[in-house]
Structure 1
Amino acid sequence: MSATRRGRTGAPSVLGALAALTASAFALTGCGAADGHRADGHAGAPERAHCPRLQRPIATADADWRAVAKALGRTGALREKVVYGVSLPRRDLKVTSRGVDIGSSLALNGAADFARYCDGTMLMGDLVLTEDELPKATEALQKAGFEQTALHKHLPDQTPPIWWTHYQAMGDPVTLARKLKAVLEVSGDPVAVPPPESTKPIDLDTAEIDEALGRKGIAEGRTYKFFIGRGETVTSHGHVLPAPIGVDTVIKFQALGDERAAVTGDIVMTAHEVQKVIRALHEGGFELVELHNHMLDDEPRLFYLHYWGIGDGAELARGLRPALDATNLAPPAPES
């Protein structure tokens, strides 16, 4: 997930339609919200006649998100041309789990993911919080009108205890960004500490890991990571959810030296896949950490299983493969 690294309550007003905008406003929200629309996305009277029944995310360019980056005070990256993802790493936290010093890119990385649709912009993500910060974040998210859709831990035996809270909102993208910035200011600043400089190559056999998992990973400092989407279409209230908005399986290896690694992440499953994945992870020697939902109204209903393991990086990858094969993964992207 960030790593990543990822619902709504079921009330139609949450993702209800927004009034049509002028052509200039369309550049930010697709079909957008009128000036009088509430920034949290809860419209008074839905007007979606101009939008298709099943809405797909609208392709955008980096320039379309400059105002969002400015309002949030953080620059993101455009993924698959439809999701503007902003990483929220907690580099200020010092966390250990099972004797491992957890890097922010391994398991301390929150996210803010924006996607444009005909009736507005969707924001989904999660925040990494200490127990002291959690009540402040909850209060700020509720004040902002954001929905909290999950609350859980990602790591076993962690010191200090760290929580992840997932949130969602719909509305004008710049207003959403401003509200999220206000939340971050009272609940732990994800960019309070700059990233450490590192020129060391990652001490993992990444080619063997790629072969074992049947995909090519992404190196980020001492972390080697994979994000794998589902093979079927996932929707929420008539909106097709692209994988980078948080409906993908995440695998992250943190190099520990001598080609050893700590591996963690979550596997996305439908209900009939859950027991098969649990058995595969258990037989592979992995520790099961959490089983939960990230959203409230996804279709098909998705479950997320967080896991943990330490060992030779390539052997860990081979151990994970049966669990991945028990789910409906999207095929690997063709190499360019």
Structure 2
Amino acid sequence: ETMYMHVLGHGDPEKLAAALHSALQQSATPLSDAPASATAASKTIDLDTSTIDQALGRKGKVNGGVYQVSIPRAETIKDDGMEVPDAMGSAIAINFQPTGGGKAAITGDFVLIASEVNPVLRALRESGIEMTAVHNHMLDDEPRLFFMHFWANDDVGKLAKGLKLALDQVHLKTGS
């Protein structure tokens, strides 16, 4: 079973990096200076990515056999007064992995304010997408955020349309 842990630290960047490196070594996480994979094969995927891009209104990228789409919220997200960049977990993450026959398994998380939780949950359920968890990642975030994780395995077009219905309930940054 894969476990995910989020970390937060304040202080000297070198000391923080050394502590994180030590923890990753103890967890047996593979450490490498090389990018995950730069081969042409890693950039192709058995999915109709144009259907996904068109439905979501965003372009994703192939990474290790998974098509990943990152969608930032409109607001600047802060935790303890410091800005949390999109790449540090304040953007919506949507991942498609091909399962054959035009189908894909999807997972990821919506980054939501309280008033968006129920409308997004309703849109996902109506589209056959299962919500697997709702929780907070930060203690002193502004605005207060809820992370809704989801999962499904179905037709790529159907899933992309369902995710778009959910995204329509969220205050997103335009033009990304």
2:10 counterpart of 1:167: no
Q: 1:198·1:221 contact (CA, 8 Å) conserved in 2?
A: no
2:23 counterpart of 1:186: no
Partner of 1:177: 17
Partner of 1:199: 41
- For 2:77 and 2:21, the matched residues in 1 are separated by 28
C-alpha deviation, 1:210, in angstroms = 0.4
- For 1:303 and 1:190, the matched residues in 2 are separated by 30
C-alpha deviation, 1:240, in angstroms = 2.2
Partner of 1:312: 155
Partner of 1:290: 133
SS at match of 2:95: strand
- For 1:264 and 1:236, the matched residues in 2 are separated by 25
- For 1:212 and 1:305, the matched residues in 2 are separated by 20
SS at match of 1:215: coil
- For 2:80 and 2:65, the matched residues in 1 are separated by 39
- For 1:191 and 1:239, the matched residues in 2 are separated by 28
C-alpha deviation, 1:221, in angstroms = 3.6
Higher helix share: 2
C-alpha deviation, 1:267, in angstroms = 0.3
2:50 counterpart of 1:212: no
* Aligned partner (choices 220, 225, 230) of residue 68 of structure 2: 225
Q: Could you list the per-position Cα deviations for residues 191-234 of structure 1 after superposition, in whole angstroms to 9, with x for gaps in the alignment?
A: 48x96878273111111110000111111242111111110122
Partner of 2:93: 250
SS at match of 1:168: coil
The gaps in structure 2 that reach 5 residues or longer are none
The gaps in structure 1 that reach 5 residues or longer are 1-160
Which of structures 1 and 2 has the bigger CA Rg?
1
Q: 1:203·1:258 contact (CA, 8 Å) conserved in 2?
A: no
Please list, as runs of the form range in 1=range in 2, the aligned pairs for 1:264-303 lying within 5 A after superposition: 264-303=107-146
Equivalenced residue count is 172
1:203 partner amino acid: D
Q: 1:214·1:332 contact (CA, 8 Å) conserved in 2?
A: no
SS at match of 2:28: coil
* Aligned partner (choices 319, 322, 325) of residue 165 of structure 2: 322
Please list, as runs of the form range in 1=range in 2, the aligned pairs for 1:36-115 lying within 5 A after superposition: none
- For 2:11 and 2:79, the matched residues in 1 are separated by 15
- For 1:185 and 1:235, the matched residues in 2 are separated by 29
Q: 1:202·1:221 contact (CA, 8 Å) conserved in 2?
A: no
Which TM-score applies when normalising by structure 1?
A: 0.48
C-alpha deviation, 1:258, in angstroms = 2.6
1:180 partner amino acid: L
C-alpha deviation, 1:332, in angstroms = 2.8
- For 2:68 and 2:144, the matched residues in 1 are separated by 25
- For 1:258 and 1:171, the matched residues in 2 are separated by 50
2:25 partner amino acid: E
Partner of 1:237: 80
Partner of 1:153: none
